[in-house]
Structure 1
Amino acid sequence: MHSKTDIKLLVVDIDGTIAGHSNKISQGVKNAIQQVKLLGVQVAVATGRMYRSALRFHLEIGSTLPLIAYQGAWIQDPASNKIHRHYPVNRATAIQLLDYFEQPELRELLSVHFYINDELYVRSITRETHIYAKRSNITPIAVGDLRLCLDNEPTKILALCDDTDVINNLLGNLRRQYTPAELYLTTSVATFFEATNPLVNKGVAVKYLAEELLGIESNNVMTIGDNFNDIEMLQYAGTGVAMGGAPSQVKEQANWVAPTVENDGVAAAINKFILA
Protein backbone atom coordinates (compact mmCIF):
# COMPACT_ATOMS: atom_id res chain seq x y z
CA MET A 1 0.00 0.00 0.00
CA HIS A 2 1.13 3.54 -0.74
CA SER A 3 1.33 6.20 1.87
CA LYS A 4 -0.57 9.26 0.81
CA THR A 5 2.60 11.21 -0.01
CA ASP A 6 3.60 8.67 -2.66
CA ILE A 7 1.03 9.79 -5.20
CA LYS A 8 2.17 12.90 -7.04
CA LEU A 9 -0.01 12.66 -10.14
CA LEU A 10 -3.68 11.75 -10.44
CA VAL A 11 -5.04 11.10 -13.94
CA VAL A 12 -8.78 10.71 -14.52
CA ASP A 13 -10.87 9.64 -17.48
CA ILE A 14 -14.03 11.69 -18.21
CA ASP A 15 -17.01 9.62 -19.37
CA GLY A 16 -18.09 7.03 -16.82
CA THR A 17 -15.40 8.26 -14.41
CA ILE A 18 -15.73 11.94 -13.46
CA ALA A 19 -18.87 12.50 -15.56
CA GLY A 20 -21.91 10.24 -15.56
CA HIS A 21 -25.28 10.47 -17.29
CA SER A 22 -25.57 14.17 -16.47
CA ASN A 23 -22.36 14.91 -18.43
CA LYS A 24 -21.25 17.01 -15.44
CA ILE A 25 -18.77 16.56 -12.58
CA SER A 26 -20.52 16.21 -9.22
CA GLN A 27 -19.71 18.59 -6.39
CA GLY A 28 -18.37 15.68 -4.29
CA VAL A 29 -15.83 14.73 -6.96
CA LYS A 30 -14.85 18.38 -7.52
CA ASN A 31 -14.27 18.86 -3.80
CA ALA A 32 -12.12 15.72 -3.55
CA ILE A 33 -10.00 16.85 -6.52
CA GLN A 34 -9.53 20.30 -4.97
CA GLN A 35 -8.31 18.68 -1.73
CA VAL A 36 -5.81 16.60 -3.69
CA LYS A 37 -4.44 19.73 -5.36
CA LEU A 38 -4.04 21.42 -1.97
CA LEU A 39 -1.72 18.54 -1.03
CA GLY A 40 0.44 19.37 -4.07
CA VAL A 41 -0.72 16.42 -6.17
CA GLN A 42 -0.95 17.26 -9.88
CA VAL A 43 -4.17 16.37 -11.68
CA ALA A 44 -4.72 15.61 -15.38
CA VAL A 45 -7.45 14.40 -17.73
CA ALA A 46 -6.98 11.46 -20.15
CA THR A 47 -9.90 10.87 -22.49
CA GLY A 48 -10.90 9.43 -25.83
CA ARG A 49 -12.85 12.64 -26.44
CA MET A 50 -11.87 15.42 -28.81
CA TYR A 51 -9.58 18.05 -27.29
CA ARG A 52 -12.16 20.81 -27.40
CA SER A 53 -14.90 18.58 -26.06
CA ALA A 54 -12.68 17.64 -23.10
CA LEU A 55 -11.49 21.17 -22.39
CA ARG A 56 -14.31 22.23 -20.06
CA PHE A 57 -13.63 19.22 -17.79
CA HIS A 58 -9.91 20.08 -17.71
CA LEU A 59 -10.77 23.65 -16.71
CA GLU A 60 -13.37 22.56 -14.18
CA ILE A 61 -10.92 20.42 -12.21
CA GLY A 62 -8.27 23.14 -12.49
CA SER A 63 -5.61 21.02 -14.15
CA THR A 64 -2.38 22.83 -14.98
CA LEU A 65 -0.95 19.95 -17.02
CA PRO A 66 -1.38 19.18 -20.73
CA LEU A 67 -4.70 17.55 -21.60
CA ILE A 68 -4.58 14.00 -23.01
CA ALA A 69 -7.26 13.74 -25.72
CA TYR A 70 -8.12 11.14 -28.40
CA GLN A 71 -6.67 8.31 -26.22
CA GLY A 72 -3.36 10.19 -26.21
CA ALA A 73 -3.08 10.82 -29.95
CA TRP A 74 -3.35 14.55 -29.15
CA ILE A 75 -1.70 16.02 -26.04
CA GLN A 76 -2.05 19.79 -25.72
CA ASP A 77 -1.45 22.33 -22.97
CA PRO A 78 -4.50 24.62 -22.80
CA ALA A 79 -2.55 27.31 -20.94
CA SER A 80 0.04 27.81 -23.72
CA ASN A 81 -1.83 26.02 -26.55
CA LYS A 82 1.38 24.06 -27.16
CA ILE A 83 0.72 20.67 -28.77
CA HIS A 84 3.11 18.23 -27.09
CA ARG A 85 2.16 15.24 -29.21
CA HIS A 86 0.04 14.56 -32.25
CA TYR A 87 0.15 11.07 -33.76
CA PRO A 88 -2.54 10.71 -36.45
CA VAL A 89 -3.63 7.64 -38.42
CA ASN A 90 -1.85 7.51 -41.78
CA ARG A 91 -3.93 8.31 -44.84
CA ALA A 92 -3.61 4.90 -46.51
CA THR A 93 -4.86 3.12 -43.38
CA ALA A 94 -7.72 5.62 -42.99
CA ILE A 95 -8.88 4.82 -46.54
CA GLN A 96 -8.60 1.06 -45.90
CA LEU A 97 -10.75 1.39 -42.78
CA LEU A 98 -13.30 3.46 -44.67
CA ASP A 99 -13.47 0.81 -47.40
CA TYR A 100 -14.08 -1.78 -44.71
CA PHE A 101 -16.82 0.27 -43.00
CA GLU A 102 -18.53 0.90 -46.34
CA GLN A 103 -18.99 -2.75 -47.26
CA PRO A 104 -22.67 -3.23 -48.14
CA GLU A 105 -23.45 -5.30 -45.03
CA LEU A 106 -21.89 -2.68 -42.71
CA ARG A 107 -22.55 0.63 -44.41
CA GLU A 108 -26.10 1.09 -43.12
CA LEU A 109 -25.22 -0.11 -39.61
CA LEU A 110 -22.34 2.24 -38.82
CA SER A 111 -21.99 5.96 -38.22
CA VAL A 112 -18.39 6.75 -39.17
CA HIS A 113 -16.55 9.71 -37.58
CA PHE A 114 -13.23 11.14 -38.75
CA TYR A 115 -11.52 13.59 -36.39
CA ILE A 116 -9.25 15.99 -38.28
CA ASN A 117 -7.64 19.11 -36.75
CA ASP A 118 -10.00 18.77 -33.77
CA GLU A 119 -13.08 18.93 -36.02
CA LEU A 120 -15.56 16.08 -36.49
CA TYR A 121 -16.30 14.99 -40.07
CA VAL A 122 -19.10 12.54 -40.89
CA ARG A 123 -20.78 11.16 -44.00
CA SER A 124 -24.16 12.32 -42.78
CA ILE A 125 -25.74 13.29 -39.47
CA THR A 126 -27.25 10.06 -38.17
CA ARG A 127 -29.22 9.69 -34.96
CA GLU A 128 -26.10 8.33 -33.22
CA THR A 129 -24.01 11.24 -34.50
CA HIS A 130 -26.63 13.72 -33.28
CA ILE A 131 -26.63 12.21 -29.76
CA TYR A 132 -22.83 12.10 -29.72
CA ALA A 133 -22.50 15.71 -30.91
CA LYS A 134 -24.96 16.93 -28.31
CA ARG A 135 -23.04 15.25 -25.48
CA SER A 136 -19.71 16.50 -26.83
CA ASN A 137 -21.12 19.98 -27.47
CA ILE A 138 -19.66 20.18 -30.99
CA THR A 139 -21.07 20.64 -34.48
CA PRO A 140 -20.28 17.78 -36.86
CA ILE A 141 -19.41 18.59 -40.49
CA ALA A 142 -21.26 16.35 -42.97
CA VAL A 143 -19.23 15.77 -46.14
CA GLY A 144 -20.90 12.81 -47.84
CA ASP A 145 -17.68 11.06 -48.87
CA LEU A 146 -15.13 11.10 -46.04
CA ARG A 147 -12.31 10.62 -48.57
CA LEU A 148 -12.82 14.28 -49.47
CA CYS A 149 -11.46 15.47 -46.13
CA LEU A 150 -8.29 13.37 -46.10
CA ASP A 151 -5.95 16.20 -47.13
CA ASN A 152 -4.97 16.00 -43.48
CA GLU A 153 -4.56 12.73 -41.60
CA PRO A 154 -7.23 11.89 -39.00
CA THR A 155 -6.29 11.99 -35.33
CA LYS A 156 -8.86 9.28 -34.61
CA ILE A 157 -11.43 7.18 -36.47
CA LEU A 158 -14.63 6.13 -34.73
CA ALA A 159 -17.43 3.82 -35.83
CA LEU A 160 -20.66 3.91 -33.82
CA CYS A 161 -23.42 1.36 -33.72
CA ASP A 162 -26.18 0.78 -31.17
CA ASP A 163 -25.78 -2.99 -31.69
CA THR A 164 -22.83 -3.98 -29.52
CA ASP A 165 -22.48 -7.30 -31.37
CA VAL A 166 -21.67 -5.35 -34.54
CA ILE A 167 -18.96 -3.40 -32.68
CA ASN A 168 -17.50 -6.57 -31.11
CA ASN A 169 -17.38 -8.31 -34.50
CA LEU A 170 -15.76 -5.25 -36.04
CA LEU A 171 -13.11 -5.18 -33.32
CA GLY A 172 -12.42 -8.92 -33.68
CA ASN A 173 -12.21 -8.82 -37.48
CA LEU A 174 -9.98 -5.75 -37.62
CA ARG A 175 -7.70 -7.08 -34.89
CA ARG A 176 -7.07 -10.04 -37.21
CA GLN A 177 -6.26 -7.68 -40.09
CA TYR A 178 -4.05 -5.18 -38.27
CA THR A 179 -1.32 -5.95 -35.76
CA PRO A 180 -0.91 -3.67 -32.71
CA ALA A 181 2.14 -2.26 -34.54
CA GLU A 182 -0.16 -1.04 -37.34
CA LEU A 183 -3.19 0.32 -35.46
CA TYR A 184 -4.36 0.75 -31.87
CA LEU A 185 -7.93 -0.56 -31.73
CA THR A 186 -10.19 -0.25 -28.71
CA THR A 187 -13.69 0.48 -27.42
CA SER A 188 -14.33 3.41 -25.06
CA VAL A 189 -17.97 2.47 -24.58
CA ALA A 190 -19.60 -0.72 -25.86
CA THR A 191 -21.08 1.08 -28.90
CA PHE A 192 -17.88 2.93 -29.96
CA PHE A 193 -15.16 1.25 -32.05
CA GLU A 194 -12.03 3.42 -32.05
CA ALA A 195 -8.84 3.35 -34.13
CA THR A 196 -5.73 5.45 -33.58
CA ASN A 197 -2.05 5.49 -34.44
CA PRO A 198 -0.28 2.37 -33.02
CA LEU A 199 2.00 4.53 -30.85
CA VAL A 200 -1.05 5.78 -28.98
CA ASN A 201 -2.83 4.71 -25.83
CA LYS A 202 -3.61 6.37 -22.50
CA GLY A 203 -0.83 4.44 -20.76
CA VAL A 204 1.83 5.84 -23.10
CA ALA A 205 0.35 9.32 -22.69
CA VAL A 206 0.28 9.16 -18.88
CA LYS A 207 3.87 7.87 -18.89
CA TYR A 208 4.82 10.92 -20.97
CA LEU A 209 3.23 13.32 -18.45
CA ALA A 210 4.75 11.54 -15.46
CA GLU A 211 8.25 10.73 -16.64
CA GLU A 212 9.02 13.32 -19.33
CA LEU A 213 7.21 16.36 -17.96
CA LEU A 214 7.12 15.81 -14.20
CA GLY A 215 10.14 13.54 -13.70
CA ILE A 216 8.26 11.06 -11.51
CA GLU A 217 7.92 7.28 -11.68
CA SER A 218 4.91 5.10 -12.30
CA ASN A 219 4.58 4.25 -8.60
CA ASN A 220 3.89 7.96 -7.96
CA VAL A 221 0.94 7.86 -10.35
CA MET A 222 -2.72 7.05 -9.71
CA THR A 223 -5.11 6.56 -12.64
CA ILE A 224 -8.89 6.12 -12.61
CA GLY A 225 -10.93 4.84 -15.56
CA ASP A 226 -13.92 2.74 -16.51
CA ASN A 227 -13.40 1.12 -19.90
CA PHE A 228 -11.18 -0.87 -22.26
CA ASN A 229 -9.37 2.27 -23.47
CA ASP A 230 -8.29 2.85 -19.83
CA ILE A 231 -6.60 -0.54 -19.37
CA GLU A 232 -3.12 0.64 -20.40
CA MET A 233 -3.11 3.54 -17.97
CA LEU A 234 -4.44 1.34 -15.16
CA GLN A 235 -1.59 -1.10 -15.84
CA TYR A 236 1.02 1.67 -15.98
CA ALA A 237 0.15 3.41 -12.71
CA GLY A 238 1.36 2.31 -9.29
CA THR A 239 -2.27 2.72 -8.24
CA GLY A 240 -4.82 1.87 -10.94
CA VAL A 241 -8.48 2.24 -9.99
CA ALA A 242 -11.41 0.92 -12.04
CA MET A 243 -14.87 2.40 -11.64
CA GLY A 244 -17.74 0.28 -10.33
CA GLY A 245 -19.42 0.40 -13.74
CA ALA A 246 -16.39 -0.94 -15.60
CA PRO A 247 -16.50 -4.25 -17.53
CA SER A 248 -15.06 -7.16 -15.52
CA GLN A 249 -11.97 -7.41 -17.79
CA VAL A 250 -11.13 -3.81 -16.90
CA LYS A 251 -11.70 -4.36 -13.16
CA GLU A 252 -9.27 -7.29 -13.31
CA GLN A 253 -6.49 -4.90 -14.35
CA ALA A 254 -7.03 -2.55 -11.40
CA ASN A 255 -5.59 -2.42 -7.87
CA TRP A 256 -8.98 -1.41 -6.53
CA VAL A 257 -12.56 -1.06 -7.76
CA ALA A 258 -14.32 2.16 -6.78
CA PRO A 259 -18.06 2.79 -6.50
CA THR A 260 -19.82 3.81 -9.73
CA VAL A 261 -19.67 7.27 -11.27
CA GLU A 262 -23.20 8.02 -10.04
CA ASN A 263 -21.95 7.23 -6.51
CA ASP A 264 -18.90 9.51 -6.75
CA GLY A 265 -16.42 6.66 -7.18
CA VAL A 266 -13.56 9.07 -7.94
CA ALA A 267 -14.07 10.83 -4.59
CA ALA A 268 -14.06 7.44 -2.82
CA ALA A 269 -10.80 6.47 -4.54
CA ILE A 270 -9.17 9.80 -3.69
CA ASN A 271 -10.22 9.46 -0.07
CA LYS A 272 -8.87 5.92 0.13
CA PHE A 273 -5.51 6.40 -1.57
CA ILE A 274 -4.58 10.07 -1.21
CA LEU A 275 -6.52 11.75 1.60
CA ALA A 276 -6.82 8.80 3.99
Structure 2
Amino acid sequence: MVNAQEIKLLVVDIDGTISGESNTVSQAVKEAIAAVQAKGIPVAIATGRMYRSALRFHQELNSTLPLMAYQGAWIQDPTSQTIHQHLPVSRDVAEQLLDYFEQPTLRSLLSVHFYINDQLYVREVTPETQAYAARSGITPIAVGDLRQTLSNEPTKILALCDDTTVITDLLGNLRRQYTPAELYMTTSVATFFEATNAVVNKGNAVRYLAEEILGLKSHNVMTIGDNFNDLEMLQYAGIGVAMGNAPEDVQAIANWVAPSVEVDGVATAIEKFLLS
Protein backbone atom coordinates (compact mmCIF):
# COMPACT_ATOMS: atom_id res chain seq x y z
CA MET A 1 0.00 0.00 0.00
CA VAL A 2 1.35 3.43 -0.96
CA ASN A 3 1.88 6.47 1.21
CA ALA A 4 -1.46 8.27 1.52
CA GLN A 5 0.29 11.59 0.84
CA GLU A 6 0.81 10.45 -2.77
CA ILE A 7 -2.94 10.20 -3.43
CA LYS A 8 -4.09 12.73 -6.05
CA LEU A 9 -7.40 11.13 -7.10
CA LEU A 10 -10.25 9.45 -5.19
CA VAL A 11 -12.70 7.23 -7.09
CA VAL A 12 -15.88 5.90 -5.45
CA ASP A 13 -18.60 3.47 -6.48
CA ILE A 14 -22.25 4.41 -5.87
CA ASP A 15 -24.48 1.53 -4.75
CA GLY A 16 -23.31 -0.15 -1.56
CA THR A 17 -20.48 2.38 -1.24
CA ILE A 18 -21.60 6.03 -1.08
CA SER A 19 -25.29 5.10 -1.22
CA GLY A 20 -27.06 2.41 0.80
CA GLU A 21 -30.68 1.37 1.27
CA SER A 22 -31.83 4.99 1.20
CA ASN A 23 -30.49 5.47 -2.37
CA THR A 24 -28.97 8.78 -1.23
CA VAL A 25 -25.59 10.05 -0.05
CA SER A 26 -25.45 10.82 3.68
CA GLN A 27 -24.38 14.20 4.99
CA ALA A 28 -21.29 12.65 6.63
CA VAL A 29 -20.08 11.19 3.33
CA LYS A 30 -20.80 14.43 1.45
CA GLU A 31 -18.82 16.41 4.03
CA ALA A 32 -15.86 14.00 3.89
CA ILE A 33 -15.79 14.21 0.09
CA ALA A 34 -16.01 18.00 0.19
CA ALA A 35 -13.06 18.07 2.63
CA VAL A 36 -10.99 15.93 0.24
CA GLN A 37 -11.84 18.24 -2.65
CA ALA A 38 -10.91 21.26 -0.52
CA LYS A 39 -7.45 19.67 -0.13
CA GLY A 40 -7.13 19.69 -3.92
CA ILE A 41 -7.86 15.98 -4.46
CA PRO A 42 -10.58 15.56 -7.11
CA VAL A 43 -13.26 12.88 -6.67
CA ALA A 44 -14.73 10.76 -9.46
CA ILE A 45 -17.49 8.14 -9.70
CA ALA A 46 -17.14 4.67 -11.27
CA THR A 47 -20.44 2.80 -11.36
CA GLY A 48 -22.32 0.03 -13.11
CA ARG A 49 -25.29 2.40 -13.35
CA MET A 50 -26.48 4.10 -16.49
CA TYR A 51 -24.93 7.50 -17.12
CA ARG A 52 -28.32 9.23 -16.67
CA SER A 53 -28.97 7.36 -13.45
CA ALA A 54 -25.55 8.24 -11.99
CA LEU A 55 -25.66 11.92 -12.91
CA ARG A 56 -27.45 13.09 -9.76
CA PHE A 57 -24.74 11.52 -7.58
CA HIS A 58 -22.03 13.19 -9.67
CA GLN A 59 -23.80 16.53 -9.09
CA GLU A 60 -24.32 15.89 -5.37
CA LEU A 61 -20.59 15.27 -4.92
CA ASN A 62 -19.74 18.40 -6.96
CA SER A 63 -17.39 16.27 -9.05
CA THR A 64 -15.55 18.11 -11.80
CA LEU A 65 -14.27 14.93 -13.49
CA PRO A 66 -15.73 12.69 -16.22
CA LEU A 67 -18.27 10.16 -14.96
CA MET A 68 -17.47 6.47 -15.50
CA ALA A 69 -20.79 4.66 -16.06
CA TYR A 70 -21.73 1.11 -17.16
CA GLN A 71 -18.57 -0.31 -15.45
CA GLY A 72 -16.58 2.21 -17.49
CA ALA A 73 -18.00 1.32 -20.91
CA TRP A 74 -19.27 4.92 -21.10
CA ILE A 75 -17.05 7.76 -19.83
CA GLN A 76 -18.54 11.22 -20.26
CA ASP A 77 -17.78 14.69 -18.92
CA PRO A 78 -21.11 16.13 -17.72
CA THR A 79 -19.81 19.70 -17.98
CA SER A 80 -18.60 19.66 -21.58
CA GLN A 81 -20.79 16.67 -22.60
CA THR A 82 -17.66 15.15 -24.19
CA ILE A 83 -17.86 11.35 -24.43
CA HIS A 84 -14.28 10.22 -23.81
CA GLN A 85 -15.00 6.53 -24.30
CA HIS A 86 -17.86 4.32 -25.43
CA LEU A 87 -17.13 0.59 -25.80
CA PRO A 88 -20.31 -1.40 -26.53
CA VAL A 89 -21.00 -5.14 -26.78
CA SER A 90 -20.96 -6.39 -30.38
CA ARG A 91 -24.30 -7.10 -32.05
CA ASP A 92 -23.34 -10.77 -32.59
CA VAL A 93 -22.54 -11.34 -28.92
CA ALA A 94 -25.71 -9.49 -27.84
CA GLU A 95 -27.79 -11.83 -30.03
CA GLN A 96 -25.99 -14.89 -28.67
CA LEU A 97 -26.63 -13.82 -25.08
CA LEU A 98 -30.27 -13.15 -25.85
CA ASP A 99 -30.61 -16.65 -27.36
CA TYR A 100 -29.09 -18.06 -24.17
CA PHE A 101 -31.38 -16.04 -21.86
CA GLU A 102 -34.44 -17.08 -23.86
CA GLN A 103 -33.92 -20.82 -23.48
CA PRO A 104 -37.17 -22.38 -22.17
CA THR A 105 -35.54 -23.18 -18.79
CA LEU A 106 -34.42 -19.57 -18.27
CA ARG A 107 -36.84 -17.31 -20.12
CA SER A 108 -39.46 -17.11 -17.34
CA LEU A 109 -36.80 -16.65 -14.62
CA LEU A 110 -34.89 -13.67 -16.04
CA SER A 111 -35.59 -10.01 -16.66
CA VAL A 112 -33.27 -8.97 -19.48
CA HIS A 113 -32.12 -5.36 -19.87
CA PHE A 114 -30.39 -3.90 -22.94
CA TYR A 115 -28.79 -0.46 -22.49
CA ILE A 116 -28.55 1.41 -25.79
CA ASN A 117 -27.76 5.12 -26.19
CA ASP A 118 -28.28 5.55 -22.42
CA GLN A 119 -31.84 4.20 -22.64
CA LEU A 120 -33.13 1.00 -21.00
CA TYR A 121 -34.89 -1.50 -23.29
CA VAL A 122 -36.70 -4.57 -21.95
CA ARG A 123 -38.85 -7.34 -23.38
CA GLU A 124 -41.55 -6.55 -20.85
CA VAL A 125 -41.71 -4.67 -17.57
CA THR A 126 -41.40 -7.30 -14.83
CA PRO A 127 -41.61 -6.61 -11.06
CA GLU A 128 -37.78 -6.86 -10.96
CA THR A 129 -37.52 -4.27 -13.74
CA GLN A 130 -39.99 -1.99 -11.93
CA ALA A 131 -37.92 -2.13 -8.73
CA TYR A 132 -34.72 -1.48 -10.69
CA ALA A 133 -36.27 1.43 -12.59
CA ALA A 134 -37.62 3.02 -9.41
CA ARG A 135 -34.20 2.94 -7.76
CA SER A 136 -32.47 4.16 -10.92
CA GLY A 137 -34.98 6.90 -11.73
CA ILE A 138 -35.27 5.52 -15.28
CA THR A 139 -38.33 4.70 -17.42
CA PRO A 140 -37.83 1.33 -19.16
CA ILE A 141 -38.94 0.97 -22.79
CA ALA A 142 -40.75 -2.34 -23.41
CA VAL A 143 -40.23 -3.61 -26.98
CA GLY A 144 -41.31 -7.27 -26.93
CA ASP A 145 -38.47 -8.81 -28.95
CA LEU A 146 -35.18 -7.20 -27.88
CA ARG A 147 -33.66 -8.12 -31.26
CA GLN A 148 -35.56 -5.11 -32.62
CA THR A 149 -33.18 -2.82 -30.70
CA LEU A 150 -29.99 -4.21 -32.20
CA SER A 151 -29.59 -1.73 -35.04
CA ASN A 152 -27.38 -0.14 -32.35
CA GLU A 153 -24.92 -2.08 -30.18
CA PRO A 154 -25.73 -2.26 -26.43
CA THR A 155 -23.42 -0.52 -23.96
CA LYS A 156 -24.28 -3.17 -21.36
CA ILE A 157 -26.50 -6.23 -20.99
CA LEU A 158 -28.06 -7.13 -17.65
CA ALA A 159 -30.01 -10.20 -16.55
CA LEU A 160 -31.88 -9.95 -13.25
CA CYS A 161 -33.28 -12.71 -11.08
CA ASP A 162 -34.26 -12.65 -7.41
CA ASP A 163 -32.94 -16.22 -7.11
CA THR A 164 -29.19 -15.70 -6.63
CA THR A 165 -28.40 -19.32 -7.54
CA VAL A 166 -29.81 -18.70 -11.03
CA ILE A 167 -27.41 -15.76 -11.44
CA THR A 168 -24.44 -17.71 -10.02
CA ASP A 169 -25.13 -20.62 -12.41
CA LEU A 170 -25.60 -18.22 -15.31
CA LEU A 171 -22.26 -16.55 -14.63
CA GLY A 172 -20.49 -19.90 -14.31
CA ASN A 173 -22.01 -21.30 -17.52
CA LEU A 174 -21.31 -18.20 -19.59
CA ARG A 175 -17.73 -17.96 -18.29
CA ARG A 176 -17.22 -21.42 -19.79
CA GLN A 177 -18.60 -20.20 -23.13
CA TYR A 178 -16.78 -16.87 -23.41
CA THR A 179 -13.15 -16.12 -22.59
CA PRO A 180 -12.24 -12.85 -20.82
CA ALA A 181 -10.92 -11.70 -24.23
CA GLU A 182 -14.45 -12.03 -25.67
CA LEU A 183 -16.70 -10.64 -22.94
CA TYR A 184 -16.42 -9.06 -19.47
CA MET A 185 -18.92 -10.62 -17.06
CA THR A 186 -19.52 -9.75 -13.43
CA THR A 187 -22.12 -9.31 -10.71
CA SER A 188 -22.68 -5.88 -9.15
CA VAL A 189 -25.14 -7.34 -6.65
CA ALA A 190 -25.92 -11.03 -6.21
CA THR A 191 -29.13 -10.74 -8.29
CA PHE A 192 -27.55 -8.92 -11.29
CA PHE A 193 -25.56 -10.63 -14.05
CA GLU A 194 -23.79 -7.96 -16.13
CA ALA A 195 -21.97 -8.23 -19.45
CA THR A 196 -19.91 -5.59 -21.25
CA ASN A 197 -17.26 -5.31 -23.95
CA ALA A 198 -14.23 -7.48 -23.08
CA VAL A 199 -11.91 -4.52 -22.38
CA VAL A 200 -14.44 -2.82 -20.09
CA ASN A 201 -14.08 -2.90 -16.32
CA LYS A 202 -13.78 -0.24 -13.64
CA GLY A 203 -10.04 -0.84 -13.33
CA ASN A 204 -9.46 0.04 -16.98
CA ALA A 205 -11.81 3.03 -16.69
CA VAL A 206 -9.98 4.39 -13.62
CA ARG A 207 -6.63 3.78 -15.35
CA TYR A 208 -7.88 5.75 -18.39
CA LEU A 209 -9.07 8.66 -16.22
CA ALA A 210 -5.93 8.71 -14.08
CA GLU A 211 -3.27 8.15 -16.73
CA GLU A 212 -4.74 9.43 -20.02
CA ILE A 213 -6.78 12.37 -18.75
CA LEU A 214 -5.07 13.45 -15.50
CA GLY A 215 -1.49 12.30 -16.12
CA LEU A 216 -1.32 10.34 -12.85
CA LYS A 217 -0.02 6.86 -11.99
CA SER A 218 -1.78 4.04 -10.14
CA HIS A 219 0.01 4.89 -6.87
CA ASN A 220 -1.68 8.33 -6.98
CA VAL A 221 -5.16 6.76 -6.88
CA MET A 222 -7.44 5.61 -4.04
CA THR A 223 -10.59 3.64 -4.90
CA ILE A 224 -13.52 2.54 -2.72
CA GLY A 225 -16.04 -0.15 -3.73
CA ASP A 226 -18.20 -2.94 -2.41
CA ASN A 227 -18.69 -5.69 -4.98
CA PHE A 228 -17.22 -7.97 -7.65
CA ASN A 229 -17.51 -5.29 -10.34
CA ASP A 230 -15.14 -3.16 -8.19
CA LEU A 231 -12.37 -5.79 -8.00
CA GLU A 232 -10.29 -4.42 -10.88
CA MET A 233 -10.31 -0.84 -9.64
CA LEU A 234 -9.44 -1.93 -6.10
CA GLN A 235 -6.50 -3.91 -7.52
CA TYR A 236 -5.36 -1.05 -9.78
CA ALA A 237 -5.23 1.65 -7.12
CA GLY A 238 -2.36 2.50 -4.78
CA ILE A 239 -4.96 2.28 -2.00
CA GLY A 240 -7.97 0.02 -2.65
CA VAL A 241 -10.65 0.08 0.06
CA ALA A 242 -13.50 -2.44 0.27
CA MET A 243 -16.65 -1.71 2.21
CA GLY A 244 -17.61 -3.75 5.27
CA ASN A 245 -20.72 -4.89 3.38
CA ALA A 246 -18.59 -6.27 0.51
CA PRO A 247 -18.43 -10.04 -0.13
CA GLU A 248 -15.47 -11.72 1.60
CA ASP A 249 -13.65 -12.33 -1.69
CA VAL A 250 -13.74 -8.60 -2.43
CA GLN A 251 -12.58 -7.68 1.07
CA ALA A 252 -9.71 -10.17 0.70
CA ILE A 253 -8.05 -8.25 -2.17
CA ALA A 254 -8.43 -4.79 -0.61
CA ASN A 255 -5.70 -2.89 1.22
CA TRP A 256 -8.19 -1.99 3.92
CA VAL A 257 -11.81 -2.74 4.81
CA ALA A 258 -14.01 0.21 5.81
CA PRO A 259 -17.15 0.00 7.96
CA SER A 260 -20.34 -0.73 6.00
CA VAL A 261 -22.26 1.73 3.84
CA GLU A 262 -25.03 2.11 6.43
CA VAL A 263 -22.56 3.56 8.96
CA ASP A 264 -20.83 5.90 6.46
CA GLY A 265 -17.81 3.68 5.83
CA VAL A 266 -16.62 5.94 2.99
CA ALA A 267 -16.33 8.87 5.42
CA THR A 268 -14.28 6.68 7.79
CA ALA A 269 -11.95 5.59 4.96
CA ILE A 270 -11.48 9.18 3.77
CA GLU A 271 -10.76 10.32 7.32
CA LYS A 272 -8.20 7.55 7.84
CA PHE A 273 -6.25 7.94 4.59
CA LEU A 274 -6.80 11.44 3.24
CA LEU A 275 -7.73 13.79 6.07
CA SER A 276 -5.77 12.64 9.11
TM-score, length-scaled by structure 1: 0.99
- TM-fit CA distance, 1:6: 1.1
What amino acid does structure 2 have at the position aligned with 1:251? Q
Partner of 1:180: 180
Report what 1:267 is aligned to: 267
Q: Which residue of 2 aligns with 1:27?
A: 27
Note if 1:201 corresponds to 2:197: no
1:3-59 Cα distance to aligned partner (Å, 9 max, x none): 443110000000000000000000000000000000000100000000000000001
The residue aligned with 2:215 is 215
Q: Does 1:247 align with 2:271?
A: no
1:83 is the counterpart of 2:83:
yes
Q: 1:33-52 maps to which residues of 2 (within 5 A)?
A: 33-52=33-52
* Residue 119 (structure 2) pairs with residue 119 (structure 1): yes
Query: How far apart in 1 are the matches of 2:160 and 2:207?
Result: 29
Q: What amino acid maps onto 2:42 in structure 1?
A: Q
Cα offset for 1:151? 0.6
User: Residue 96 of structure 2 aligns to which amino acid in structure 1?
Assistant: Q
The amino acid that maps onto 1:242 is A
- Work out the CA distance in 1 between the residues paired with 2:101 and 2:85: 28
CA distance in 2, matches of 1:72, 1:215: 18
Q: Deviations over 1:137-181 (max 9, x none)?
A: 010000000000111000000000000000000000000000000
Deviations 1:193-233 (A, max 9, x none): 00000010000000001111111110110000000000000
In structure 2, how many angstroms separate the alpha carbons of the residues matched to 1:28 and 1:35?
11
- Which residue of structure 2 aligns with residue 171 of structure 1? 171
Alignment partners' CA distance in 1, 2:271 and 2:102: 48
Q: Distance in 1 between matches of 2:96 and 2:232?
A: 26
Structure 1 residue 260: deviation in Å? 0.3
Distance in 2, Cα, partners of 1:32 & 1:114: 35
**How far apart, CA to CA, are the structure 2 residues paired with 1:191 and 1:178?**
20
Aligned partners of 2:207 and 2:4: how far apart in 1? 20
TM-score of the pair, normalised by structure 2:
0.99
**1:132 matched to 2:143:** no
Partner of 1:16: 16
In the alignment, the residues of structure 2 paired with residue 53 and residue 96 of structure 1 have an alpha-carbon distance, to the nearest angstrom, of 27
Identity among equivalent positions (%) equals 74
CA shift for structure 1 position 2: 4.4
Preserved CA contact (<8 Å) 1:202 1:230: yes
**SS of equivalent residue, structure 2 residue 241:** strand
Deviation string, structure 1 residues 88-110 (Cα, Å, up to 9, x no partner): 00000000000000000000000
Q: Alpha-carbon deviations, 1:222-267, whole Å to 9, x = none?
A: 0000000000000000000000000000001100000000000000
1:99-143 Cα deviation digits (max 9, x unpaired)? 000000000000000000000000000000000000000100000
| Kept in 2: contact 1:2–1:273 (CA 8 A) | no
Write the letter of the residue equivalent to 2:17.
Answer: T
What is the distance in 2 between the residues matched to 1:61 and 1:80?
17
Equivalent residue number for residue 60 of structure 1 = 60
- Give the unaligned 5+ runs of structure 1: none
Residues 122, 146 of structure 1: 8 Å contact kept: yes
2:150 equivalent in structure 1? 150
Q: Secondary structure at the match of 2:43?
A: strand
3-state SS of 2:190 partner: coil
Partner of 2:229: 229
Partner in structure 1 of residue 109 of structure 2: 109
- Contact kept, 8 Å, 1:4 with 1:275, in 2: the verdict is no
CA distance in 2, matches of 1:2, 1:124: 48
